[in-house]
Amino acid sequence: MRLFKFFKHHINLTLASILFLSAILAFSSGLTAKGTSSNNLSFSKEHQSTCIKIIAALERYHYLGKKLDNEMSANILKRYLKRLDPSKQLFTVEDINHFSKRRYRYDDDLKKGKLSHGFEVFNLYLVRSKQRFLYILNCIDTWEQDLNFTKEEAIVIDDDAKDWQRDLAALKVLWKKDLKNYILSLRLDGQDNKKITETLNKTYPNRLKRLSQINASDAFQILMNTVTSSFDPHTQFFPPRVSEDFDIHMSLSLEGIGAVLQNEYEYTKVVRLIPKGPADKSNLLMPGDKIIGVGQGKTGDIKDTIGQRIDNVVKLIRGPKNTYVRLKIIPASAKKSSSTKTISILREKVKLEEQSAKKKIVTINLDNNNYKIGIIEIPNFYIDFNAYHNGNKDYKSTTKDVKRLLKELRKEKIDGLIVDLRDNGGGSLKEASQLTGLFLKTGPTVQIKTKFRISRLYDEDPAMEYNGPLIVLIDRMSASASEIFAGAIKDYNRGIIVGTRSFGKGTVQELQPLGKGKLKLTSAKFYRISGKSTQNLGIVPDIQYPQIYKVEDTGESSLEGALPWDTTVKTSYDAYQDISSSLTILRQKHEKRSFSDPGLQYLKKRLELMSKLDEETQLSLNEQERRDRKEKIEQHELEIENSFLVASNKTPIKEISQRETRIDDYKDILLKETQMVMADFINTSKDMDYRW
């Protein structure tokens, strides 16, 4: 009973809701220096009091049991500077040296509610940001005469490769390059000079206006969330206004485009797509994409959103169903503003019935044998909590639906089963545990470790709803409850895990009231029954497929300061017969196919191109070189695309803009390969005489 009470606060925290909390968080556009401004922001006594309470709660309740010390103090300053000035376009070497004098004092200051030094940094950020925007605004009217796009010049796009500049004059050089790069991106998007000038005259005055609207509460929120993120990236403070927004958003139906967003410095990044939501079904948006503009309708002007508060961006994206929203994005495969595109998505209500588990049957011929394979797709781990708590026996849940589907598949006499958990961001922990039980006799399913103890969930029902060959298909977006299920199947040797490394969300958060706001902090960690954590590393498949999502921009490991993978005690459980000998054979057969299968080759080549582009640390500011670069990339993409089309007996295309291959096509390629792996597994299972 005590365990249930512990989990009633966490049991329905899907990855989506956890990351949506992150999404309502801080923002930054770029600022500061030891400037003196008549509009300096000042903290209040309430801010000081709240700061003291936040530090006390973090030290007392956070899973790690950390104390603010000199090491964390220096880390807080480093994170704070990066959050405010990620591109190193605002602070100088002199500023950094000045701020660094107090790098070991932030811990003592914050415990006492002293915020003066944090606000000093923020006020300089505001001054420098204003200087930057005014400098660029002063360049707009004469940019056609002043900017030389034939000059051999480059801009560094890898922030980690940048150095702090020596003085304001050096910063202005960066600002000018940044403006040139932006204009070049607009030219490559097809805008003429007149349209570009109009765009600049809209964009930068709006950014300057947004800068002027930043207040002391915003500054306090950013400072405090720099502190909380020093514990881990899911630990966050929500001031009263944001706390109210969160309550409102969480009570609304999923109407909009069905995307989970979060702030990444000045950008709004897509973290994941709600399965079967408008964005997911459109095949136009994917995790890792960065939204830099939003327009209403099919033809509405795109409003610049760089540096905007994420809750404001969310408001622009949301809207009445059956209306279009246009998004200007930097694709996940691109770096910074090296490439952009604009997409249109029809808003609609996410239909919950479409998120229910579904089945289908395919027949695979292998070595003149036909194998009937059942496939169950589970978009998330759901349960009707109201009906469940009211004692309604007909409540809807993942486990009940899958149990019914398994019964139907048994009647069809399937030879093997694939459970497809791709893009499943999690959901009810109870459901993950009970679903695991459908494929086991009895035993533990997951371990939950707090600061003080370890608890476990068990399958106590000896019945097995399915006891044949089993494959679990996962990808980078399979998270939380999905990882618990896949991890248990792997540890019990009950089936084979195929796909790509999962998300790595292995922590539990809880909300605590804090004055008029809220504090979300990490209070526990999930562990597999083998003692291995699902955190950070996620679940590593037995057979690995080419990546669809960019690992560097998605998943827990992409979050700065994410808690590490580790182990705890192994619990007692009875694993089934070792299947490693079968795995060796299946890997060999998969590798052989990967060299000849057109689909797998296609995905590998796309991944290689994306990796090559990701290695770039700078971009030319010479227009012809940029056009040549774009043409070369598009030609490479065209060759990859046509190679796949020809191998698939389809008509080649003349331009990459004609490409119709979308994310669903990538997924189909991997599902077909999984069916072949299952056919091999069924063959091997006969030879090995496995008993589950």
pLDDT in tens, 88-114: 999 999 999 999 999 999 999 999 999
| C-alpha angle 333-338-339 in degrees, rounded to nearest 5 | 65
For all residues of the chain together, what is the average pLDDT? Answer: 89
User: What is the per-residue pLDDT across 355-396, written as a single tens digit (0 to 9) for each?
Assistant: 899 999 999 999 899 999 999 999 999 998 888 888 888 888
pLDDT value at residue 3: 39
Output the pTM of the full model: 0.89
More confident residue, 34 or 99: 99
Which residue reads 């209070």 in tokens? 523
Q: Which segments of 340-468 does DSSP mark as H helices, in order?
A: 385-389, 398-411, 429-437
Token pair of 657 as six digits: 């803009």
User: What is the per-residue pLDDT across 442-464, written as a single tens digit (0 to 9) for each?
Assistant: 999 999 999 999 999 999 999 99
Among 21-25, 182-186, 565-569, 663-667, which stretch is predicted with the lowest mean pLDDT?
21-25
Q: How far apart are alpha carbons 222 and 32 in whole angstroms?
A: 14
Q: Sorting pLDDT into bands at 50, 70 and 90, what band is 526?
A: very high
pLDDT value at residue 336: 57
Q: Sorting pLDDT into bands at 50, 70 and 90, what band is 661?
A: low
Cβ proximity of 651 and 575 under 8 Å: no
Give just the sign of the alpha carbon dihedral 383, 384, 388, 391: negative
| Residue ranges per structural domain of the chain | 31-236, 252-349, 352-578
**Facing residues of 362 across strands?**
373
Predicted confidence (pLDDT) at residue 625 exceeds the cutoff of 90: yes
Compute the average pLDDT of residues 661-674: 88
Compute the average pLDDT of residues 249-257: 50
More confident residue, 239 or 242: 239
Token pair of 157 as six digits: 């796009």
Question: Could you report how far apart the first and last alpha carbons of the chain are, in Å?
Answer: 31
Residues marked active site are found at 480, 491, 505
pLDDT value at residue 178: 95
Q: What is the DSSP string of 642-682?
A: HHHHHHTT----SSGGG----HHHHHHHHHHHHHHHHHHHH
Compute the average pLDDT of residues 560-565: 95
| Distances from the Cα of 298 to the Cα of 137, 140, 343, 350, angstroms | 29, 28, 9, 21
Determine whether 63 is exposed, middle or buried from the number of CB atoms within 10 Å of its CB (0-12, 13-18, 19+): buried
H or E stretch covering 468: none
pLDDT value at residue 23: 36
Compute the average pLDDT of residues 312-333: 89
User: What is the per-residue pLDDT across 475-484, written as a single tens digit (0 to 9) for each?
Assistant: 999 999 999 9
User: What is the per-residue pLDDT across 274-292, written as a single tens digit (0 to 9) for each?
Assistant: 888 899 888 889 898 999 9
Q: How far apart are alpha carbons 499 and 241 in whole angstroms?
A: 41
| Distances from the Cα of 395 to the Cα of 166, 385, 387, 389, angstroms | 65, 8, 5, 9
Q: Sorting pLDDT into bands at 50, 70 and 90, what band is 19?
A: very low
Say which CATH class 252-349 falls into: mainly beta
Cβ proximity of 188 and 626 under 8 Å: yes
- Could you tell me which residues come within 8 angstroms of residue 169 by beta carbon, excluding any fewer than 6 positions away? none
pLDDT value at residue 180: 97
| C-alpha angle 223-228-232 in degrees, rounded to nearest 5 | 140
Q: How far apart are alpha carbons 54 and 604 in whole angstroms?
A: 47
| Distances from the Cα of 429 to the Cα of 180, 435, 551, 574, 645, angstroms | 50, 10, 25, 22, 42
In this prediction, what percent of the chain has a pLDDT beyond 70? 91
Token pair of 278 as six digits: 């408008």
pLDDT value at residue 36: 37
Phi-psi region of 183 (alpha: psi -120 to 50; beta: other; left: phi over 0): alpha
Predicted confidence (pLDDT) at residue 339 exceeds the cutoff of 80: no
pLDDT value at residue 646: 92
Compute the average pLDDT of residues 204-216: 93
Q: Among candidates 634, 87, 169, which has minimal Cα distance to 337?
A: 87
pLDDT value at residue 531: 98
Cβ proximity of 129 and 213 under 8 Å: no
The topology under which CATH files domain 352-578 is 2-enoyl-CoA Hydratase; Chain A, domain 1 (3.90.226)
Q: How far apart are alpha carbons 63 and 452 in whole angstroms?
A: 9
Compute the average pLDDT of residues 129-148: 96
User: What is the per-residue pLDDT across 593-623, written as a single tens digit (0 to 9) for each?
Assistant: 999 999 999 999 999 998 888 888 999 999 9
Q: Is 524 helix (H, G, I), strand (E, B) or coil?
A: strand
User: What is the per-residue pLDDT across 304-315, written as a single tens digit (0 to 9) for each?
Assistant: 898 888 888 888
List phi, psi (to 5°) of 56.
-60, -45
Compute the average pLDDT of residues 34-58: 83
Q: How far apart are alpha carbons 688 and 441 in whole angstroms?
A: 21
Predicted confidence (pLDDT) at residue 82 exceeds the cutoff of 50: yes
pLDDT value at residue 240: 80
